[in-house]
């Protein structure tokens, strides 16, 4: 199981939100590229990037910070937030992203996800963010009646590389991930699932790894910045 360190970008800074609230942001670094380099130096195989401003605006806002990260590291990076058309997808992949995450458009324009997955095999992931099992869009600001499982299953034959499942109420709260819901989703689909939201300890990572579902990975942010997870130790444990 791959550990994906999260670099969430707001106003060019590396931050973490509490339960997706933009006004509850804690700044952890003014230099996201340096933070990315530190994660790479620690042995991380992937980086998970989020353009928080872009998720609300519907277009890339923190492009300069993302480009600086891509110029600084050699490990693959995936990015979500404000990517809602083919031109933006192609532009990011051309700039060196290894994977683009489509969230809001997966609900509002699923045909785009299918088109992108066909055009760029292995490079399109679907981000499913949920409260109480229902999908939220537009930077988690709008809730829908769509269930997590129904949305995931609708892309079974689309060729997407992964589903990134975030339990919003757990995100940034350091209270542990929703293991039951994550495992249920992983069992419900054949698409690789990456867990996100609330991963706050090595025990959480081990519980996700051993939950009986074939999880591709887990994303963690605040716990890595706060030191609640010892990154080298966690990487060694997950590779054992």
List the beta bridge partners of residue 135. 130
Neighbour-count burial of 87, counting CB atoms closer than 10 A to its CB (0-12 exposed, 13-18 middle, 19+ buried) = exposed
Q: How far is 102 from 110, CA to CA, in rounded Å?
A: 10
**Would the CA dihedral through 127, 65, 218, 173 be positive or negative?**
negative
Helices 63-72 and 32-41 meet at what angle, rounded to 10? 30
Phi, psi at 55, each rounded to 5°: -60, -35
Look at the block and give the residue holding tokens 């990315």.
36
Say how many residues make up the chain.
240
Active centre residues (catalytic): 8, 129
Half-sphere exposure (Cβ direction) of 104: Cα atoms closer than 13 Å: 20
Beta strands in the chain (DSSP E): 2-10, 13-18, 21-29, 47-51, 77-80, 99-102, 124-131, 134-137, 142-147, 162-167, 193-196, 215-220
Tell me if residue 160 falls in helix, strand or coil: coil
């Amino acid at each position: 199981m791959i550990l994906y360190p999260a670099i969430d970008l707001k106003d060019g800074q590396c931050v973490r939100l509490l339960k997706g609230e933009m006004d509850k942001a804690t700044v952890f670094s003014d230099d996201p590229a340096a933070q990315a380099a530190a994660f790479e130096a620690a042995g991380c195989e992937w980086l998970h990037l989020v353009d928080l401003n872009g998720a609300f605006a519907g277009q890339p806002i923190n492009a300069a910070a993302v480009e600086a990260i891509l110029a600084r590291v050699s490990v693959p990076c995936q990015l979500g937030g404000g990517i809602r058309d083919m031109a933006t997808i192609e532009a990011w992949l051309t700039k060196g992203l290894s994977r683009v995450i489509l969230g809001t458009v997966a609900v509002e324009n699923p045909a785009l996800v299918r088109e992108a997955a066909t055009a760029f095999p292995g490079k399109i992931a679907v981000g499913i963010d949920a409260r109480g099992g229902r999908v939220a869009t537009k930077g988690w600001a709008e809730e829908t009646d769509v269930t997590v499982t129904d949305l995931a299953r609708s892309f079974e034959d689309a060729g997407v590389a992964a589903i990134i499942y975030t339990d919003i109420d757990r995100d940034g709260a350091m209270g542990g991930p929703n293991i039951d819901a994550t495992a249920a989703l992983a069992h419900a689909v054949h698409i690789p699932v990456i867990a996100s939201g609330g991963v706050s300890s090595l025990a959480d990572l081990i519980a996700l790894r051993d939950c009986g579902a074939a999880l591709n990975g887990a994303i963690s942010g605040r716990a890595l910045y706060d030191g609640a997870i010892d990154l080298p130790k966690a990487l060694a444990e997950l590779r054992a």
